[in-house]
Amino acid sequence: MVSIPVQANVMDEWLINWNYRTTITISSDFVDSDLSDYPIRVDVSSDIINMSDNLSSIRFTDSDLNILSHEIDYTDSINNTIFWVKTDLSSSVDTELYLFYNNSDTVSVENPSDVWNSYYSAVYHMGVNDSNNLIDSTSNNNFGVKTSDISGLPDNTTGFIGNMQWIDSTGREYFTVTSDDSLNPLNGTGWYMVGVFNPDSYGTDGKGTIISKVSWTLGLYTVNCAFVNIRGGSSPVPVWDNKYRLTGANTVNLGTNYVLQCRHRYPELETELDLYEINSGTCVENDGLNYDLYDPSFNAGTCYIGSGAGSRYFDGNITEIRIVKKNISDDETVLDYHCFNYSDGLISFSDNMFYDSLFPTLQDLNDLYNAMDENLEICIAMVLLTCVLIIGCIFAINVKNNVLDQKQKKEKK
């Protein structure tokens, strides 16, 4: 890496001791409309930057050096790390962010619950905490508890987006999430559910559930199709005879990574199912499912990941699950796919910069600024005194010249 000077605003005090920075460019080619507070995926590998600390000094900023909230999704032993960063994105010009790193004199400002704002009911990157419970990155804390109806438990492992959970349908393994209203997506609002998965088989009886509650299920159905199952209708107590199903038309291939997205537009009452194959961009879409919303009070109870409440067990790995309570645009769902896929050209890095003895550090610049500020009165006095001396010298020279002129005139007479 070549050492080059970096222009810094010494008034940004938080920059003190951050002597390493790289520029991140998010291509507008992937952003079809301007987005606010969008969680963008940023993968930082050890061959891009050498992060020597424990990631506590990581700071993401916009181009004006405003700090952005970030979450660490996954990191390995050599600091290859997956981040999610909340930022505004432009569809007309590329968005530039900065990543500052390697400052041993600071603490982490990682803030997952701010990255995933109040619209997000649950976000599972499929990592676990010290109690081996599935972590929810939102402030709702909808943690998942490992369970099985026969034997075994979901297995912590790694996939193409960091953490994943391997779930075995023969042992009827799954997670239970005892939740409140925060996981009820169908209560008179738009909603959006995402599952990133790779099936090892099509689940028990050809039905594999990614996530479900009493009234809805997202997963696989009839061996090779993705589906969402919504328990709806105008009855105060809906029954399965009143269900509505939206089924993707294409075959789901075993051993293949997919992004399954289901979104419900409100008040239009339209539901769309999108299935993307990772690395190919192939998408299956079904539009136009309409239904009446049911009694919201019926949607209480346990949420299941990898199971349909004692049946329809998933078989394979699950890498990501999200539940969002708002109307999501086509542009956002497509960009979500590109983030999961980490499509070529979405993110680029440039201008790796650092300071060494050839150039002043940010601390040097700040010390200089403070010294000037503390001695401002002395500096002003010195400037004024210098001006007085210069004026005095000029006056003395003029007086001397006038005296010489007068003397020369008298001598001529």
Domain spans, the chain? 13-110+350-359, 120-325, 367-400
Task: Write down the pLDDT at residue 28.
Answer: 96
Task: Write down the pLDDT at residue 292.
Answer: 47
Residue 289 confidence (pLDDT) above 80: no
Q: Of 188-192, 389-393, 403-407, which gets the smallest average pLDDT?
A: 403-407
Rounded to 5 degrees, what are φ and ψ at 258? -130, 155
Looking at the DSSP assignment, which residues form a beta bridge with residue 134? 128, 144
Residue 24 confidence (pLDDT) above 90: yes
Q: d(Cα 265, Cα 39) in Å, to the nearest integer?
A: 21
- pLDDT confidence bin for 37, thresholds 50/70/90: very high
Q: Which CATH class is domain 120-325?
A: mainly beta
- pLDDT confidence bin for 208, thresholds 50/70/90: confident
At the second CATH level, the architecture of 13-110+350-359 is Sandwich (2.60)
Average pLDDT over the chain, rounded to an integer: 79
How many Cα atoms occupy the beta-carbon half-sphere of 244 within 13 Å? 18
Residue 234 confidence (pLDDT) above 50: no
Residue 96 confidence (pLDDT) above 90: yes
The predicted-structure confidence for 239-258, as pLDDT tens digits, reads as follows: 333 444 555 555 688 899 99
CA distances from 194 to 39, 91, 197, 236 (A): 14, 23, 10, 28
Looking at the chain, the whole-number percentage of residues with pLDDT higher than 70 is 71
The predicted-structure confidence for 365-393, as pLDDT tens digits, reads as follows: 555 556 555 566 676 777 777 776 777 77
Contact 142, 304 (CB under 8 A): no
Residue 348 confidence (pLDDT) above 90: yes
Q: To 10 degrees, the CA torsion angle through 12, 13, 18, 20?
A: 10
Nearest by Cα to 14 from 86, 84, 100, 95: 100
Over residues 328-356, the mean pLDDT reads 85
3-state secondary structure 218-254: EEEECCCEEEEEEECCCCCCCCHHHEEEEECCCCCCC
Residue 232 burial (10 A CB sphere; 0-12, 13-18, 19+): buried
Over residues 257-286, the mean pLDDT reads 79
Q: d(Cα 371, Cα 325) in Å, to the nearest integer?
A: 53
- pLDDT confidence bin for 183, thresholds 50/70/90: confident
Task: Write down the pLDDT at residue 262.
Answer: 86
Task: Write down the pLDDT at residue 32.
Answer: 94
Q: Higher-confidence residue: 116 or 57?
A: 116
Q: d(Cα 26, Cα 62) in Å, to the nearest integer?
A: 11
Q: d(Cα 99, Cα 40) in Å, to the nearest integer?
A: 14
- pLDDT confidence bin for 184, thresholds 50/70/90: confident
3-state secondary structure 48-81: CCCCCCCCCCCEEECCCCCEECEEEEEECCCCCE
